[in-house]
Chain A
């Protein structure tokens, strides 16, 4: 069988011959991830299984990022459980406090998620690493506990949808707009039980951080994975980051896909996902005036350096509208330091933003920016489910960093074209 990239990566991790979708294969894993919410549950399951030792102390990452800095006694106790386990098991990759960042930004940065890897994480946005050509998927804590004990997991070989982006991007249209557009077309279960592979001229030119943004939201289309090409652009990025850049692996020319989705990016405008589902995607220009009280720029979707840089360009010389709290959360300490060094933090502060720590915080309604009754937010995050960021009566509009910044300045859902 001519193989797509998804199957080629999977095949590197299993001794079973991959012949067709639907097949269940036992796979070796390169990295197993959990965070401060899912880790303690995984640890409990691990112990319940009677497991004594993790399969490899270098291949498990515990990242305290969701409620960090810990918001209350219970969430601090969750970290205590994780820290104790990391010490007992002598884990190499345990991150909390000033070492920690949003897990899906942190792992590729540290070289803990690599092209061609098979990564499982107790977090649904583990699919982010598809942006650097990894087969990466989210699971629950107990599946992760099993992987921590055995170093392997079972996976059903998914059917794969190929998404082809053709054309040229207009000003202010970014990776986030490309992905929201796809989710708007295929729906939140458009790729249920399936994988996505991204290709086409737009993808060939798309910087790696943009690819990570898009892969991050594969789960928002119900997908198991969202995989980008392992190409020269990726190898160049890896080399610049000081990471290995020697893997060559690509889909066979006539590989079989379940279907193709073709998107002409020429003429796309900045979009938002309107409440309360990520597939409710509309052009910003088509919306009636929609006042907001909060903006969040950050998260595993859009908290990387290039996201902050794009937002800072919009904020430079402008002010956040009175009555709006605009929260900027650089995703990792490295991103934070680079933003500080290059003057982005000063731009945000001059504009009247609140610049906070690397945390998932508000994205999941954890802390550091919760919505009250009837409040409305524009966020660069990934989910706008009812009540996700706070009150059940609040609303979330998902947008790109530049659209979020323009919205903060104008005090309503807006694109930078309106400034």
Chain B
């Protein structure tokens, strides 16, 4: 995966109720969920997002409910990757399972300002802040997660295993 995009920065402990409030969980359609992405933070947040933009989060992003609708809403809003200080564990699994890579960068997150342009190359393991001309290191993505991403998510990954079992 190689991508470039403008960042939208959010704070610490953004919970999944903020990412997609429960009242929208009556559907699992990515477009419908995407249209309400971050509605629990700010009702019209998603209106400022253009396809390909990158979400930059603080500590413990995605804490709270296990709703998989949260990474689906982010993908549905056109955001292909999230960079953050750290991620809540259920959200971490869910994001990769849905094909949304997460880059964990700890305190380096302070080197990215809202609106900065980032370039990410997952194969090369590189994250660059183009606005500030900085290379930012990130925690390597574990092999299990890479395999899942390579299959487009867990559905593809298990599908492969089930068809191999036959």
Interfacial residues, chain A to chain B (CB-CB below 8 A): 24, 37-38, 40-41, 44-45, 48-51, 66-67, 72, 74-75, 77-78, 121-124, 126, 138-143, 145-146, 149-150, 154, 188-189, 192-193, 219, 222, 224, 277, 364-366, 383, 385-388, 392
| Interchain residue pairs with CB less than 8 A apart (24) | A37-B67, A41-B28, A48-B155, A66-B22, A78-B26, A122-B68, A123-B65, A123-B66, A124-B64, A138-B66, A139-B93, A140-B93, A140-B98, A142-B153, A145-B158, A188-B13, A192-B86, A192-B88, A192-B89, A222-B88, A364-B22, A365-B21, A383-B65, A386-B41
- Chain A, residue nearest B59 (CB): A189
Q: Which of B21, B26, B65 contacts A75 (CB 8 A)?
A: B26
Residues in chain A near residue B60, CB distance under 8 A: 188-189, 192, 222
A140 touches B158 (CB 8 A): no
Rounded to whole angstroms, the CA-CA distance of A188 and B158 in the bound complex is 32
> Are B90 and A140 touching (Cβ within 8 A)?
yes
Q: How far is the CB of B55 from chain A (nearest CB, A)?
A: 18
Contact: A49 with B69, CB < 8 Å?
A: no
**Complex CA distance for A222 and B92, rounded to whole angstroms:** 12
Nearest opposing residue in chain A for B155, CB measure: A48
Partner of B94, one of A66, A74, A123, A142: A142
**Docked complex Cα distance between A224 and B90 (Å):** 8
A45 contacts B18, CB within 8 Å? Answer: no
Is B115 in the interface zone, CB < 8 Å from A?
no
Enumerate chain A residues within 8 angstroms of B27, measured Cβ to Cβ. Answer: 74
* CB–CB B40/A139 < 8 A: no
Q: Which residues of B contact A72 (CB under 8 A)?
A: 26
Least CB separation from B162: chain A residue: A50
Closest Cβ of chain B to A67, distance in Å, is: 8
Bound-complex Cα distance A222 to B87 (A): 10
The one of A154, A188, A387 in contact with B21, judged by C-beta atoms closer than 8 angstroms, is A387
Indicate if the CB atoms of A140 and B94 lie closer than 8 Å.
yes
Tell me whether A38 and B89 are in contact (CB under 8 A): no
Q: Which residue of A lies closest to B85 (CB)?
A: A189
Is the CB–CB distance between B162 and A49 below 8 Å? Answer: yes
The chain A residue with its CB closest to the CB of B60 is: A189
Given contacts A140-B66, A189-B59, 11 further A-B contacts (CB under 8 A): A37-B67, A41-B68, A50-B159, A75-B26, A78-B26, A123-B66, A140-B98, A150-B158, A188-B63, A222-B63, A365-B17
B93 contacts across to A, CB distance below 8 A:
139-140, 143
Determine which of A77, A145, A222, A366 lies in contact with B22 in the assembled complex, contact meaning CB atoms within 8 Å.
Answer: A366
CA distance A41 to B153 in the complex (A): 14
Determine the residue in chain A with the shortest Cβ distance to B68.
Answer: A140
| A24-B144, A48-B159, A140-B67 known; A189 vs B26 contact (CB < 8 Å) | no
A222 touches B89 (CB 8 A): yes
